[in-house]
Structure 1
């Protein structure tokens, strides 16, 4: 069975993001809410989870389970994405990079929903 385009995109996103979580975890530290303990370990664990979801989505035999796991993972990291967007909007630092970060963090939020929809599609098919 051919991998649907949206699910294939999700595999790619998870694969790239998972690698970045493991290779450069400091990128994700500003996302972490203060109430989450052991930030570095959670970041590394979420990178492993993203890679496992990517691999599971790519294999037909595990796609259903990986789809449910992927949807749960995306819902789980959503508060971090909201925090990052709010923090970026509060920033008073001038410059193009700050403006781009503010725009990027806001645009990222609605993009979570098509990713969750793709994960659920994989879980149902």
Structure 2
């Protein structure tokens, strides 16, 4: 399997793992939901987990890969406010936790570029 064939599958695996985590440990994700969003944080947690699972499935199938990768790009941009909220909320936590929350912010860019690369049929990041 070439690197360009493996890249979408790795991205799908990352999304699938994150999606499952939203259902297995929803409480940690509930805390990252911006308060300006209507409804229960748990609803948003489950919805984002379901979206991640659907995106993962779309990335696996070559026929739906480009559309799913474009949607994944938009999803990664859309969840960035949750990462900002987490970084702000964790600013007074112990250094390793604060560092982990802050590290999520710049990591969003490679994820966006990876998904964009998959959408274009390129290797993106793998």
Coarse TM-score class (shorter-chain normalised)? 0.7 to 0.9
Which of 98, 104, 126 lines up with 1:102 in the alignment? 98
Runs of 4+ in 1 over 4 A off after TM superposition: none
Higher share of residues assigned helix: 1
State whether structure 2 residue 38 is matched by structure 1 residue 37.
yes
Shift of residue 101, structure 1, vs aligned partner: 1.0
Q: 2:19·2:49 contact (CA, 8 Å) conserved in 1?
A: yes
Q: Which residue of 2 aligns with 1:8?
A: 9
Separation in structure 2 between the aligned mates of residue 57 and residue 2 of structure 1, nearest angstrom: 16
State the TM-score, normalizing by the size of structure 1.
0.87
Q: Which residue of 2 aligns with 1:52?
A: 54
- Deviation per CA, 1:14-72, whole angstroms, max 9, x where unpaired? 11110011122111111111111221111101001001111111111111010111011
Ranges in structure 2 where 5+ consecutive residues have no aligned partner: 122-126
Shift of residue 8, structure 1, vs aligned partner: 3.3
Of the structure 1 ranges 26-35 and 2-11, higher mean CA displacement relative to structure 2 is found in: 2-11
Separation in structure 1 between the aligned mates of residue 59 and residue 110 of structure 2, nearest angstrom: 16
Ranges in structure 1 where 5+ consecutive residues have no aligned partner: none
Shift of residue 10, structure 1, vs aligned partner: 2.0
Shift of residue 111, structure 1, vs aligned partner: 0.9
Separation in structure 1 between the aligned mates of residue 3 and residue 26 of structure 2, nearest angstrom: 30
Q: Which residue of 2 aligns with 1:113?
A: 109
Aligned residue pairs: how many? 119
Separation in structure 2 between the aligned mates of residue 34 and residue 6 of structure 1, nearest angstrom: 35
